[in-house]
Amino acid sequence: MHIMTGKHIPRRTFIRGMGASVALPLLDAMIPAGRLSARAAQAADPTRLVAIEIVHGAAGSNEWGASQNLWSPADTGRGFDLTPSSLLPLDPWRDYLTIISNTDVRHAEAAMAKEIGGDHFRSSSVFLTQSHPKQTESSDVEVGVSLDQMYARRFGQDTPIPSMQLCIENVDQAGGCAYGYACVYTDTISWASPTEPLPMVRDPRVAFDRLFGAGGSAKERASRRRTSRSILDWIAEDVAQLKRALGPNDLQRLDRYLDNVRELERRIQGVEAQNLSGEVRALPEAPAGVPDSFSDHVKLMFDLQALAFASDMTRVFSLKLGRDASSRVYPESGVDTPFHPSSHHGGREAAVTEFAEINKYHVGLLPYFMEKLKEIEEGESNLLDKTMILYGSPMADGNLHNHRRCPLIVLGGAQGRLAGNLHVKAPDGTPMANAMLTLMHELGMDDLETFGDSTGALSLSG
């Protein structure tokens, strides 16, 4: 264990055991009394960023669905009603909710005749880059640098992991997909450079080991897992030593954090045991660490992100909730129509309403994440107040494969930069890149003048 005796414990403190390396949460003992001004403290504690993409757009982006306010509410400003909207599960969290409606993702559209029909296979690459991808099925892919990676370059370099990329669907397909596009365009939303797509991790076990198993070799980690012991068992003595130097508040905070690590590990172990039991799986191709339940999988990924933020292992995540043209069924939504066919509702009112229920189910998982972040206290605040969560799609009406009136919301307090309880409707024809440029300014990248096809920043004042 690396602990500096004296006036305070370093923020970057790890407790290490065989195949385990557990970073600690922010403790009062890590804050040097009287040494940091408020401005310096904020500079040392940048906003955490999560960018979440859901594919196929939203029912409220269909012409009839928009008239029924199935995504964005009728009223702008702060007095909006979410009752008919797929965003209704966020109503208790409206103080942390900013709705940005009526923006377009034009670079996801076909730029020439040979690109027509390829919307599903280029859209994901546009979401966080707001750039048009080069049509190719080879390795000479090119699109743009994604927002999350631009932020990680500036504010993630002093963390052990500058950024992490997670996904829920299978995204390990190589080569070409369809309409002349390489599969990588639809397999990731994070681009470190215009020609460097970043792989996304689907298996919670892999993500957990990256966050908490970096202290040993792959062989050591595998050996530890075969014992069925917790990673906390390997660091128990050092934890006990650390606790003797902590005050009551820090002891409570540390215990809660370690309990959460253990609970997450236990759930992953349970998933692996179930999936290796020989019982028939709903997702037979998925790794053993991947739950068959979509909700369980997403919640594990949210828990991983919350703990990573708490320990400052990383400040930047991207999460891809689906893969374009996926025919997954979401039984918990109450809809038994597969996702892709459901998005091709033909404009029929009953079918559009059914697709809206799937949208609501997806949105309904976000409060779980927000609650987890809010429960983690840091100083005078909590992680939800310190986080910005982007949630949206580069597609609008999945039935028509268009990219006008795309769904986009922002959650969290972003260190006080987002007031929440706000619906901003952009003027017709506004690029989503304008909204993202504004959000990048709120994240501290206020020197940026353009992003993607932006024509200027979009005001988020109520």
- The H or E element that residue 208 is part of is helix 204-212
Distance CA 320, CA 387 (A): 18
Q: What is the pLDDT of residue 19?
A: 63
Q: What is the pLDDT of residue 2?
A: 40
> Residue 245 — very low, low, confident or very high, per pLDDT cuts 50/70/90?
confident
> Which residue intervals of the chain bear CATH 3.40.720.10?
48-202+293-462
pLDDT digits (tens, 9 = 90+) for 120-166: 999 999 999 999 999 999 999 999 999 999 999 999 999 999 999 99
Q: What is the pLDDT of residue 226?
A: 62
Instruction: Transcribe 209-274 into DSSP letters.
Output: HHHH-TTS-HHHHHHHHHTT--GGGGGHHHHHHHHTT--HHHHHHHHHHHHHHHHHHHHHHHHHHH
Q: What is the pLDDT of residue 42?
A: 56
Q: What is the pLDDT of residue 8?
A: 67
Residue type at 74?
A
pLDDT digits (tens, 9 = 90+) for 426-439: 999 999 999 999 99
Task: Tell me if residue 277 falls in helix, strand or coil.
Answer: coil
Q: What is the C-alpha radius of gyration for the chain, rounded to an integer number of angstroms?
A: 22
Q: What is the pLDDT of residue 128?
A: 98
**Architecture of 48-202+293-462 per CATH?**
3-Layer(aba) Sandwich (3.40)
Task: Over range 428-451, report the average pLDDT.
Answer: 97
Residues with Cβ < 8 Å from 305, sequence gap 6 or more?
50, 164, 166, 317, 319, 369
> Residue 219 — very low, low, confident or very high, per pLDDT cuts 50/70/90?
low
CA distances from 68 to 83, 353, 415 (A): 11, 10, 34
pLDDT surpassing 70 at residue 304: yes
Return the half-sphere exposure (C-beta side, CA atoms, 13 A cut-off) of residue 346: 4
Task: Tell me if residue 334 falls in helix, strand or coil.
Answer: coil
Task: Over range 70-78, report the average pLDDT.
Answer: 97
Tell me the longest C-alpha to C-alpha distance in the chain.
Answer: 69
Calculate the CA 128 to chain-centre distance.
12
Please name the residue ranges forming H helices in 289-398: 294-310, 339-343, 349-363, 366-375
More confident residue, 37 or 158: 158
pLDDT surpassing 50 at residue 5: no
Q: What is the pLDDT of residue 143?
A: 98
Mean pLDDT of the chain: 91
Distance CA 112, CA 284 (A): 39
Distance CA 462, CA 441 (A): 17
- Hey, what's the torsion of the CAs at 220, 223, 225, 229, to 10 degrees? -100
pLDDT digits (tens, 9 = 90+) for 308-356: 999 999 999 999 999 999 999 999 999 999 999 999 999 999 999 999 9
Tokens matching residue 295: 């909700």
Task: Over range 410-430, report the average pLDDT.
Answer: 97
Distance CA 1, CA 306 (A): 23
Q: What is the pLDDT of residue 18?
A: 61
Distance CA 142, CA 125 (A): 9
Residues with Cβ < 8 Å from 349, sequence gap 6 or more?
64
Cβ proximity of 30 and 9 under 8 Å: yes
Q: What is the pLDDT of residue 147?
A: 98
Give me the long-range contacts of 174-178 (CB less than 8 A, separation at least 24).
Answer: 175/137, 176/137, 176/138, 177/121, 177/137, 178/118, 178/120, 178/121
Task: Over range 259-277, report the average pLDDT.
Answer: 95
> Residue 12 — very low, low, confident or very high, per pLDDT cuts 50/70/90?
confident
Task: Over range 408-416, report the average pLDDT.
Answer: 97
> Residue 41 — very low, low, confident or very high, per pLDDT cuts 50/70/90?
low
Residues with Cβ < 8 Å from 288, sequence gap 6 or more?
205, 271, 272, 275, 276
Task: Over range 236-252, report the average pLDDT.
Answer: 89
pLDDT surpassing 70 at residue 441: yes
